Amino acid sequence: MRVMLVCSTGGHLTELLHWAQRISPTPTERIWVTHDRANAHDIAMRDPAATVRFVRPIEPKQAFTAATVVPRALRLIRREKPDLIVSTGAAIAVPFAIAARALGTPLHYIESATRILGPSLTGRIVSRLSPGSCWSQLPERDQASTAASWQNWRQCGSYFDMFNSSDAPTPEPLRRVVVALGTQSNFGFRAAVEAVTAILKEVSPSPHVMWQIGSTDVSGLPVQNPQTHIPEDRLIAAMQQADVVITHAGVGLASLSLLAGKTPVLLPRRSGRGEHTDDHQVQLADFLAARSLAVVREAPALTLADLERAQRRSVRTVPPGRLPRIDLDPRREPPTDTADTTTRRKAQAPRTAHATTRPAIDRSLDQHP
C-alpha cells in the first residue's frame, strides 16, 4: 500500500512518525509531505527509504496561505498516486483534505494527543471534508465524557500508550539540565526562561544547562549558548545524560524526554501571555500528569522541588510495533455519497509503476506555487 503522510513539523511530525509504524495494512511505500524547517530532516534518519516533499509553511489560522497550498497538494497527489493519505495536522491537513476529496483519495486525520476537550480547528474542518475518517487519541471513557465534541470521531488509542512510569533510584545531585521550548516561529516563552534561571540560582555548584529556545527573546537573562534548534539525535542524547528535562507542554518535546527515560517538567504555554494560539498545552500537561508521566507547573510558579520530583520518576518505553494497530485499509472506507464514489473510482484507475528505491529527500517538485 502506497501511503502519503502529511504533517507540520514539531510535535505533529513526532506523532506521525509513531503512527506510521502502527498503520494496517503496513505501507510498502511512504511519501512524506511537510515543511522544510525544524525537525523535518529527522525523517531521513527515521525513515530513510521514504520520499520527502516540502510545501510552504502554514502558520496557525492563516487561511489564505492554506488556500495557496491547495494547487500544490493536487499536483502532489496526482503525481504520487497514493492509495491513502494520513495526517496529524496541523493546518497543512486542510489543503490536502480539500485536494483528497476533489480527487477521491481516502484521507484519515489523527487528532493531536494534546486535544483532550475537543478537536482543533483543523480537526473540525477536516472532519467535514472526510467524515468518518477522523480519529481521536482519547481513551473511550474520556471521549464519552465530551461526546458532543467528538461526534462521529473514531478512537485509535494514544501516542502516549507506549510509556510507563515507575519510581527511580535516589536522584543524583543536579549537574546537567536540558531546557527545550520548541521551534514555533511566532511564539516565544520568556516566562519559562525567567523561571528556570531563577530556580537554578539556588543550585550549587551551578549545573550545566543546554538551552533550546526557539524564537524566545533571552536578552538580559543569564542564558549561555542558547540554540534556536537542536537536531533530534543530539537532543535525545543530551536528555539521556541530563538529571532533569524541562520543556513546554508540546507533544514533540514531552515525548522526546519520555523516550530518553526522563519524566519531564512540563511548563504549559498560555495564550493569555502571548505564548500560543490557545491553551491546548494545559490539556496535554494535565493528561500526562494524571498518568504520572510528567510533573506540571505554571512557569511563574516553578520551584526546585518540582525538579526533584521529576528526578524521582523513570520511564520505560514499549516499542510501537507491540501496540495495537490502526486499521486504515482503503478498501474499507466509510460510505460516501454517489459523487464521491464516482470520483474515487476514477482516481483508482490502474497506476503506472513506481520505483521502489527513492532518495531520502526528493526536491524535484519542491518549487512552491
Instruction: Report helix, strand or coil for 200.
Output: helix
- Looking at the domain assignment, is residue 357 inside a domain? no
pLDDT band (50, 70, 90) for residue 143: low
* Total domains present in the chain: 2
- Looking at the domain assignment, is residue 101 inside a domain? yes
Q: Are residues 267 and 291 in the same domain?
A: yes
Q: Are residues 64 and 205 in the same domain?
A: no
Least confident piece of the model among 134-138, 241-245, 306-310, 331-335: 331-335
Burial class (CB in 10 A: 0-12, 13-18, 19+), 289: middle
CATH code of the domain in which 304 resides: 3.40.50.2000
Q: Are residues 35 and 176 in the same domain?
A: no
Burial class (CB in 10 A: 0-12, 13-18, 19+), 153: buried
Closest by CA position to 310, among listed 362, 264, 278, 353: 264
Task: Judge contact between 150 and 129, C-beta under 8 A.
Answer: no
What is the average per-residue pLDDT within 263-282?
93
Q: Are residues 88 and 173 in the same domain?
A: no
Residue 234 C-alpha cell reads as: 543530539
Cα four-point dihedral sign 14, 19, 22, 28? negative
Torsion of CA 44, 161, 254, 146, to 10 degrees: 120
CA distance 299 to 266: 9
DSSP 212: E
Going from the C-alpha of 70 to that of each of 17, 58, 172, 343, the distances in angstroms are 24, 12, 53, 18
DSSP 179: E
Digit-coded pLDDT (tens) for 66-104? 999 999 999 999 999 999 999 999 999 999 999 999 999
Q: Are residues 313 and 191 in the same domain?
A: yes
Contacts of residue 356, Cβ cutoff 8 Å, sequence gap at least 6: 29
Q: Pairing relation of β-strands 23-24 and 326-327?
A: parallel
CA distance 336 to 113: 27
Share above pLDDT 70 across residues of the chain, in percent, rounded to a whole number? 87
- Looking at the domain assignment, is residue 302 inside a domain? yes
Please list the residues that pair with 134 across neighbouring strands: 109
- Looking at the domain assignment, is residue 99 inside a domain? yes
Task: Judge contact between 202 and 215, C-beta under 8 A.
Answer: no
pLDDT for 262 beyond 60: yes
Q: Are residues 284 and 343 in the same domain?
A: no
Segments forming the whole domain that contains residue 296: 164-317
Higher-confidence position of 8 and 139: 8
Q: Are residues 183 and 228 in the same domain?
A: yes
Task: Judge contact between 265 and 297, C-beta under 8 A.
Answer: yes
pLDDT band (50, 70, 90) for residue 344: very low
- Looking at the domain assignment, is residue 132 inside a domain? yes
- Looking at the domain assignment, is residue 183 inside a domain? yes
pLDDT for res 320: 86
Residue with the three cell numbers 505554571: 298
pLDDT for 211 beyond 70: yes
CA distance 129 to 161: 28
In DSSP notation, 7-75 reads: E-STHHHHHHHHHTTSEESPPSEEEEEE-SSGGGGHHHHH-TTSEEEE-----TT-HHHHHHHHHHHHH
CA distance 358 to 361: 8
Task: Judge contact between 60 and 88, C-beta under 8 A.
Answer: no
pLDDT band (50, 70, 90) for residue 358: very low
Q: Are residues 291 and 149 in the same domain?
A: no
Closest by CA position to 88, among listed 106, 70, 105, 109: 109
Higher-confidence position of 365 and 19: 19
- Looking at the domain assignment, is residue 364 inside a domain? no
- Looking at the domain assignment, is residue 76 inside a domain? yes
pLDDT for res 245: 98
Q: Are residues 41 and 79 in the same domain?
A: yes
Q: Are residues 203 and 93 in the same domain?
A: no
Provide the whole-model pTM: 0.75
Closest by CA position to 4, among listed 326, 349, 330: 330
What is the average per-residue pLDDT within 279-302?
94
Q: Are residues 254 and 235 in the same domain?
A: yes
Q: Are residues 113 and 188 in the same domain?
A: no
